[in-house]
Amino acid sequence: MLRFLVQRLALAIPTLVIASMIIFTLQQLLPGDTATALSGEERDPEVIAFIRQKYHLDQPLPVRYALWAGGVLQGDLGESIRLQKPVIDLVIEKLPVTLELACLAMLVALVIGVPMGILSAVKRGTAADTIANGIALWGLSVPNFWLGILMILLFSVQLGWLPASGYVSPFESLSENLRSMAMPAFVLGNAIAAVMMRHTRAAMLGVLGSDYVRTAWAKGVSPLRLILRHALPNAAIPIITLGALEFGQLLSGAVLTEQVFSVPGFGKLMVDAVFNRDYATVQGVVICTATTYVLLNLAADLLAAFVNPKLRRA
């Protein structure tokens, strides 16, 4: 297990290093003088000179990268020129909001996707299967920002049940927090629910066809017990690992969902930074996203190997 862990880490580290190089090089795409472009709206020569010095723009690219990467490793993601704050502070401030949203969305996805997947696998080829597949296709095809707008139209504008925007911290009022997160979490979880449903269906179909399930069936185990106690635990392994991989999708989707519902999270931070031409913040958010994603992949791999010893030799 230790060897496997080391092997996986050895793969994850170069991936992150190269990803950071790509993210750093994005700066080079900026038209014109980098220092002027990085200063955004600011045209003060002093600011531009400060940036030139701060980002070592008079040095060659590899040297600049090394200096930047060294800072990143020590938690220095640069300075938000617009907000006059270290990017790392902004990230730490916004990350909990997005993590809450992502966890609630994952909960929505599991609660909808897994039972639907089990149902459609058990009732394969029936109307229930067709309907479940139809719902999954809807979930995969509907753009989540449009679904958000439709939900605001129905639940906020027409019925007035839920707030259309605004965020309340759970430490202030948990019930208000959940009310403000209900629609964003559902919208974000919707697409993942579809993916979870498909994975669950495929995994359950595989398990239901196996010999031990047939034996249990022949022994006279009740159908409900057969599904929940015998089949589901084995089908759960791919569902868990694939679920962890869907987290990248959650982070992407959060950008749009947060924009629609004005949730002050990670995604909103990125979009605002894009429009404020606050490039250090954009880079900081992207590198944090990539790191989170790689670590989650690693965790998913380890989890899979922990549950299924055969994978450890891979």
Partner 1 sequence: MTKAAIAPAGVALPAAEPVPRAEPGPIREFWTRLKARRSAMLGLVIVVALILMAVFADWIAPYDPIATDWGAIRTAPSWAHPFGTDEVGHDVLARIVFGARASLGAGLTSVALAVALGLPFGLIAGYAGGVVDMVIMRLTDALLAIPFLILAIALAAFLGPSLTNAMVAIGLSATSTFVRLTRAQVQAVAAEEFVEAARAVGNPPWRIAIHHIVPNIVPAILVQATLTIAAAIIAEASLSFLGLGQQPPEPSWGSMLNVAKNFLEQAPWMAIWPGASIFLAVLAFNLLGDGLRDALDPRQRT
Size of residue set near partner 1 by CB under 8 A? 52
CA distance 146 to 142: 7
Residues 122-181 that bind partner 1 (CB under 8 A): 137-138, 140-143, 145-146, 149-150, 152-153, 157, 164
172 DSSP assignment: T
Among 183, 235, 256, 280, binds partner 1 (CB under 8 A): 256
Q: Is 15 in the site for partner 1 (CB under 8 A)?
A: yes
Whole-number minimum distance, CB 198 to partner 1, in Å?
Answer: 10
Whole-number minimum distance, CB 225 to partner 1, in Å?
Answer: 33
Whole-number minimum distance, CB 229 to partner 1, in Å?
Answer: 31
Among 249, 299, 303, 311, binds partner 1 (CB under 8 A): 249
Q: Is 306 in the site for partner 1 (CB under 8 A)?
A: no
Among 23, 116, 181, 192, binds partner 1 (CB under 8 A): 23
Q: Is 207 in the site for partner 1 (CB under 8 A)?
A: no
Q: Is 27 in the site for partner 1 (CB under 8 A)?
A: yes
Q: Is 221 in the site for partner 1 (CB under 8 A)?
A: no
Spatial CA neighbour of 26 closest among 248, 250, 287, 269: 287
Q: Is 259 in the site for partner 1 (CB under 8 A)?
A: yes
Provide CB contacts within 8 A for 211, sequence distance 6+. Answer: none
Q: Is 98 in the site for partner 1 (CB under 8 A)?
A: no
Contact 51, 57 (CB under 8 A): yes
81 DSSP assignment: T
Q: Is 236 in the site for partner 1 (CB under 8 A)?
A: no
Provide CB contacts within 8 A for 97, sequence distance 6+. Answer: 167, 263, 264, 265, 266
Amino acid at 249: Q
Q: Is 110 in the site for partner 1 (CB under 8 A)?
A: no
Cα torsion 83, 87, 93, 98 to 10°: value is 110
Q: Is 294 in the site for partner 1 (CB under 8 A)?
A: yes
Question: HSE of 166 in the Cβ direction (CA atoms, 13 Å)?
Answer: 8
Interface region with partner 1, contact rule CB under 8 A, candidates 18-26, 89-97, 178-186, 215-223: 18-26
Cα torsion 183, 252, 99, 151 to 10°: value is 0
Neighbours of 5 (CB within 10 A): 14
Provide CB contacts within 8 A for 290, sequence distance 6+. Answer: 16, 19, 20, 23
For binding to partner 1 (CB under 8 A), which residues are involved? 11, 14-19, 21-23, 26-27, 29-31, 137-138, 140-143, 145-146, 149-150, 152-153, 157, 164, 248-249, 251-253, 255-256, 259-260, 270-271, 274-275, 279, 282-283, 285-286, 289-290, 293-294, 297
